[in-house]
Amino acid sequence: GENVEQHPSTLSVQEGDSAVIKCTYSDSASNYFPWYKQELGKGPQLIIDIRSNVGEKKDQRIAVTLNKTAKHFSLHITETQPEDSAVYFCAASYNNNDMRFGAGTRLTVKP
Amino acid sequence: NAGVMQNPRHLVRRRGQEARLRCSPMKGHSHVYWYRQLPEEGLKFMVYLQKENIIDESGMPKERFSAEFPKEGPSILRIQQVVRGDSAAYFCASSPDSGGYGYTFGSGTRLTVV
């Protein structure tokens, strides 16, 4: 089955700096890669996703890149703000079924 | 359009009791997934269900845990004879019937076994 690894486990940045979180996956059949943000006491919320037919996707301050050959994908947050502080999870699946998640990255943005 | 509804939000059980966690998917979603999250850890897949069918239960412990998604009503995750190690947050997610991607998660049920 799919195995997703995520790094780093914790990340602290200064407000206004960029943050990058990286994930690798094992199953070459995986074709859908979402990212979720989880705030304290809440369920994960989808923030951006990418499918295997594109290499990059951007939504305002958030972007995701995918390298299918190397089987890794990354989340980039620019101009970070304190409200970006949360735990971020990457995930991988084949056709949206049986999604497997990384262990999470706790991002802290210092004002 | 209400999101994924989970209840109760918090559940306290004594060791040996049964815990029942309920999940109502979003309208138009017939795929339900259950995940367990231990403190400071990631989301561990437990089971994937469609109406009246278990599609993948590879993440479910072999004993004491069961799940169902009946034709009418919410999906139920049932834990019999709970132990302290079952204390965790249990999240339910749902996805569209067809052609859509992405899971929508509920707010979770936090189970505490005392």
Q: What is the pLDDT of residues B28-79, one digit of tens each?
A: 888 999 999 998 788 999 999 998 999 999 999 999 999 999 999 999 999 9
Contacts of A104 in chain B (CB under 8 A): 41-43
Q: Does the beta-carbon distance from B33 to A99 stay under 8 Å? A: yes
Radius of gyration for chain B, computed over Cα atoms and rounded to the nearest angstrom: 13
Supply the DSSP symbol for B81.
S
pLDDT given for residue B99 in this prediction: 56
**CA–CA separation, A110 vs B85, rounded Å?**
35
Q: Does the beta-carbon distance from A43 to B100 stay under 8 Å? A: no
Over chain A, what HEC string results? CCCEEEECCEEEEECCCCEEEEEEECCCCCCEEEEEEECCCCCCEEEEEEECCCCEEEECCEEEEEECCCCEEEEEECCCCHHHCEEEEEEEEECCEEEEECCCEEEEEEC
Q: Would the pLDDT of A4 be above 60?
A: yes
